[in-house]
Structure 1
Amino acid sequence: MASRGGNTDGTQGDTPLLFARVLDGKGGGRPIGWDEIQSWQPGPDGAVLWMHLCRTVPGIYEWLQERFAIPEPTAELLTSDATRPRAFREGNALVATLRGINFNPGAEPEDMVSMQVWSDGTRLVTLRRFPLQTPRDVLAAIDKGAGPPDAGAVVTELTEAMVTRMNQSIVDMNDHIDMLEEEDMDDDPEEMLEKIATIRRNCLGLQRHMGPQHVALEAISRDAPPWFEDHDRREIAETIDRLRRYLDDIDVSKESAVVLMDELRTRALASNERATYMLTIVAGIFLPLSFLTGLLGINVGGMPGVENGHAFWWVAGVCGGIGVLLLAIFKKLKWL
């Protein structure tokens, strides 16, 4: 893994490094290259090395085991596509898989992107496959000197930023539902049903990933190693509360979409029932008339009224009278 120029996926040459900083404990940090990372060791000054890597670069699985003595199952978890959110403690290290909203071009809100985390308190490794904005936001704060001072604070800010960015997608879905509620449901019910179905799929997708993430954050707050300080646990607890509120908002959005869909279907069913009812009334009026005209129209000699030439008018008058009588009966029965 020699270090050369930049690559199309943001890595430095053929190395997995996207960026790295050595935190100074005061909110700032200095850049560090891939070659220097190979020999970096924790010092008495309490500096923390944060590396953000691309996990799809060949050799990263073996490098994690050799450089940090990470057990093989954990290294496989950190570099695999099994990205269901989870977190656990392994000795003095914290291991986690988190997911955030995918804001890459062409992605849907439910297409979430994962980030794996490993840290022993002095070294922090975050890994991703697809571009993720959250680590870049934390990096920008560090470069301004206003970032997290240690590994626990970096993990806390990463999780908080990932959860906070979910809020925009939830707000957008709520706005879409409000707009649909204000629209005339009779204009284009098929298009509206399609929009509602999309919102429901987005809600289910977010809920499918945010539910396990809630459990993962609780595991971090509860089982994190001693270097994860009390104020970090409190921050994680606040993030958990925020995530719980977002989950509640998703439930409300999902239920609102169901109510809208039920109302549309009820209106469509009522419209079909009215059409069927009117067809039944029309059939009820014309059925006896059709029977009478069919009976009188049979080709049999001796039918009354044929000889004098007034048969048509007699039949028309009788049919009209029967029609009026049926209408009166239907009105009396309150069928009309």
Structure 2
Amino acid sequence: MPDYDREGLVSAWAFDGAGGARRIDWDEIRRGPPDGNGFDWIHLQQLDHAHGRTWLSDDSGIDPSIVESLNAAETRPRCALFDNGAFLNLRGINLMPYSLPDEMHSIRFWVEPRRIVSVRKRSLSAVGDFEDAIARGRAPRTQGEFVADLSMRLVDRMDTVITALAEDADELEELVLSATLSNLSPKVSEVRRVAIILRRYIAPQREALNHFSLEDAEWLSPRDRNRLREAADRVTRFAEELDSVRDRAAVIHDQMVERRAEQMNRSMLILAAVTVIFAPLTLITGLMGMNVEGIPGSQDPNGFWGVTVLAALLGVGLVAFLRAIRWL
């Protein structure tokens, strides 16, 4: 069942600027934040055009180009600064139940001096935890603290998944020389695929956070800027870790190819040795088995056993020869 109303409202909060917050409804949203140091946060679900008129597009007072960016289908992390606010698009790994580890969903923010409007496409566990913290009385005091806190929560979720991915790569490196290749190949492909997908979205997030920290606004304190840069630095480390996982997966794949080639060479060597051993024996038995006159030993009752012993001795001799030249 959807957790938003027909206009896409997921939740809305009014912050008093002193660490307190309370939920608000549409009436208070339309009236706007009261005078003082506080601000409002309106969290919306992205809706399609079939829903018709919405507050965001018709009543929010936000520039149509920014509304279009907030409702864009698929965008990479970025930040754009304007005279009256800042647009920030971030991605977060979804740790909600039944979600895949490579699912990175976007959340877009329009930050003004007295209001923050965010738009999601799918729910994010980091946002849910952030709202739980607000309900427990741990509310941000400024818009800068709001963005910094939520950014750190998004980064923390990345840490969990990327650490698990690195551990999977460690395990694959240990198994590459012993496990069955048919069982190992899908795991290597999956690790490499997830690393590539995450890297594609995580890398631009650093630039977006650093760019937002340059916003020249009173509500962005030096402490908030430092936290945003810290989040950007962690994202950089994650991107480097994903590069490492991707490269390690490529090395593991190369080792698997070499191991498969070695197995094929070994099999071909055995087949060649069997051919070398049995080709002379087949020639001898073929000659001795011809149904013509003059075959040596054809009238001797012990002829069969003589040929058998001769073939056995020749086979043993060929095996010894192949061992001597290290074919076997």
Q: In structure 2, what is the equivalent of residue 4 of structure 1?
A: none
Q: Which moved more, 1:103-112 or 1:248-257?
A: 248-257
Q: In structure 2, what is the equivalent of residue 49 of structure 1?
A: 40
Indicate conservation of the 8 Å contact 2:206/2:235, yes or no.
Answer: yes
Mark the runs of 5 or more structure 2 residues left unpaired by the alignment.
Answer: none
Give, in whole Å, the separation in 2 of the partners of 1:78 and 1:17.
14
Q: In structure 1, what is the equivalent of residue 3 of structure 2?
A: 10
Give, in whole Å, the separation in 2 of the partners of 1:196 and 1:294.
51
Provide closer, same or farther for how the CA distance between residues 68 and 90 of structure 1 changes in structure 2, counting only shifts above 3 A: farther
Give, in whole Å, the separation in 2 of the partners of 1:113 and 1:101.
7
Provide closer, same or farther for how the CA distance between residues 61 and 15 of structure 1 changes in structure 2, counting only shifts above 3 A: closer
Q: In structure 1, what is the equivalent of residue 210 of structure 2?
A: 218
Deviation per CA, 1:187-226: give whole Å up to 9, x if none. 5332222222222211111111101212222221235655
Mapping 1:29-40, distance limit 5 Å: 29-40=21-32
Please report how far the alpha carbon of residue 88 of structure 1 lies from its aligned counterpart in structure 2 after TM superposition: 0.7
Please report how far the alpha carbon of residue 282 of structure 1 lies from its aligned counterpart in structure 2 after TM superposition: 1.3
Q: TM-score, normalised by structure 2?
A: 0.90
Indicate conservation of the 8 Å contact 1:61/1:79, yes or no.
Answer: no
Indicate conservation of the 8 Å contact 2:96/2:125, yes or no.
Answer: no
Please report how far the alpha carbon of residue 250 of structure 1 lies from its aligned counterpart in structure 2 after TM superposition: 1.8
Please report how far the alpha carbon of residue 41 of structure 1 lies from its aligned counterpart in structure 2 after TM superposition: 4.4
Please report how far the alpha carbon of residue 65 of structure 1 lies from its aligned counterpart in structure 2 after TM superposition: 4.4
2:223 pairs with 1:231:
yes
Provide closer, same or farther for how the CA distance between residues 60 and 32 of structure 1 changes in structure 2, counting only shifts above 3 A: farther
Indicate conservation of the 8 Å contact 2:78/2:207, yes or no.
Answer: yes
Deviation per CA, 1:271-311: give whole Å up to 9, x if none. 23222211211111111111121122222222232133443
Provide closer, same or farther for how the CA distance between residues 103 and 84 of structure 1 changes in structure 2, counting only shifts above 3 A: same
RMSD between aligned alpha carbons? 2.4
Q: TM-score, normalised by structure 1?
A: 0.88
Q: In structure 2, what is the equivalent of residue 130 of structure 1?
A: 122
Q: How many residues align?
A: 327
Provide closer, same or farther for how the CA distance between residues 135 and 105 of structure 1 changes in structure 2, counting only shifts above 3 A: closer
Secondary structure of residue in 1 paired with 2:140: coil
Secondary structure of residue in 2 paired with 1:95: strand
Give, in whole Å, the separation in 2 of the partners of 1:313 and 1:216.
87
Secondary structure of residue in 1 paired with 2:293: coil
Q: Which amino acid aligns with 1:132?
A: L
Aligned mate of 2:243, from 247, 251, 264: 251
Q: Which moved more, 1:103-112 or 1:171-180?
A: 171-180
Q: Which moved more, 1:117-126 or 1:135-144?
A: 135-144
Please report how far the alpha carbon of residue 96 of structure 1 lies from its aligned counterpart in structure 2 after TM superposition: 1.5
Mark the runs of 5 or more structure 1 residues left unpaired by the alignment.
Answer: 1-7
The percentage of aligned residue pairs carrying the same residue is 31
Give, in whole Å, the separation in 1 of the partners of 2:120 and 2:325.
72
Give, in whole Å, the separation in 2 of the partners of 1:297 and 1:290.
10
Please report how far the alpha carbon of residue 75 of structure 1 lies from its aligned counterpart in structure 2 after TM superposition: 0.9
Indicate conservation of the 8 Å contact 1:16/1:57, yes or no.
Answer: no
Q: In structure 2, what is the equivalent of residue 190 of structure 1?
A: 182
Indicate conservation of the 8 Å contact 1:94/1:224, yes or no.
Answer: no
Please report how far the alpha carbon of residue 137 of structure 1 lies from its aligned counterpart in structure 2 after TM superposition: 2.3
